[in-house]
Amino acid sequence: MLSIIIPTLNEEKYLPLLLDSIKKQDFDGEYEIIIADAKSKDKTIEIAKSSGCKVVKGGLPAIGRNEGAKAAVGDLLLFLDADVTLPKGFIEKALKEFKERNLDVATFCLEPKTKRRAKKFLFNFFYNWPILVFEKLLAHGSQAILTKKDIFQKLGGFDEEIKFSEDHSFVRKSKKIGNFGILRSVKVLSSLRRFEKDGWILTYLKYIFAEIHMIIFGDIKKEIFNYRFGHYEK
């Protein structure tokens, strides 16, 4: 069984799009959707419950993912950010490749939700191509992570002390105890809201500096990037 876990905070605009993309999947297997909500003040919880999702108490993304995993009954966990959507056939293709490659943890390339070629090129140049080149040396995972539940439990889940890039940290640690890979058969459709809200240059610089910090100094456990959860619609 597949457990899909989504941390949320005031996601009434984006969550319906994600849930709709999940429901439209041509997938015959069993799955559940768990919303780990960090006290949303909009209609997020109402939307989740009306869509048949299980709702649990969340917090910052790492906390939400961990709390969602505690409530999960599936042996496979798919962690998704609330502002992504899944293309047609995503689940079936992802699980097939995951099994065929005998992976324990997997992540995905990202496809920006835009028709502008320049922005798609930037996504490929700064994220997709580098993570594929360094797949065997340095694991990356952002916005969507698929993992076996036993691997998740062995790692103790996501480190809740990390202030930024806890997703990258999780997959890098998982690579030490299991088989990690980036799936080629599917991409995750990613919102551009964080780039449009914070600025393209500033956002890319933040991610680059975070990468350098993790390589040289390790996990980011100090508030050096002033990360805020759920501020994009303000």
What residues pair up with 51 in beta bridges, in sequence order?
none
What pLDDT was estimated at residue 199?
Answer: 82
What pLDDT was estimated at residue 223?
Answer: 86
Q: Tell me how far apart the alpha carbons of residues 161 and 178 are, in angstroms, rounded to a whole number.
A: 23
Given the candidates 3.40.50.920, 2.40.110.10, 3.30.470.10, 3.90.550.10, the CATH classification of the domain at 2-216 is 3.90.550.10
Tens of pLDDT, residue by residue over 125-183, are 989 999 999 999 999 999 999 999 999 999 999 999 999 999 999 999 999 999 999 99
The CA-based diameter of the chain, rounded to the nearest angstrom, is 46
Structure tokens at 173: 């640690």
In this predicted structure, the answer to whether residue 234 has a pLDDT above a threshold of 60 is no
Asked if 84 contacts 188 with a C-beta cutoff of 8 angstroms, the reply is yes
What residues pair up with 7 in beta bridges, in sequence order?
36
DSSP state of 220: B
What pLDDT was estimated at residue 229?
Answer: 73
pTM metric for this prediction: 0.94
Lowest mean pLDDT among 17-21, 128-132, 158-162, 191-195: 191-195
Q: Tell me how far apart the alpha carbons of residues 168 and 62 are, in angstroms, rounded to a whole number.
A: 11
Strands (E), the chain: 2-8, 31-37, 54-57, 76-80, 84-85, 105-112, 144-148, 180-190
User: Band of the pLDDT at 206, cuts 50, 70, 90?
Assistant: confident
**Per-domain boundaries in the chain:** 2-216
Q: Which helix (H) or strand (E) holds 131?
A: helix 129-133
Tens of pLDDT, residue by residue over 65-78, are 999 999 999 999 99
Tens of pLDDT, residue by residue over 125-138, are 989 999 999 999 99
Q: Tell me how far apart the alpha carbons of residues 63 and 7 are, in angstroms, rounded to a whole number.
A: 8
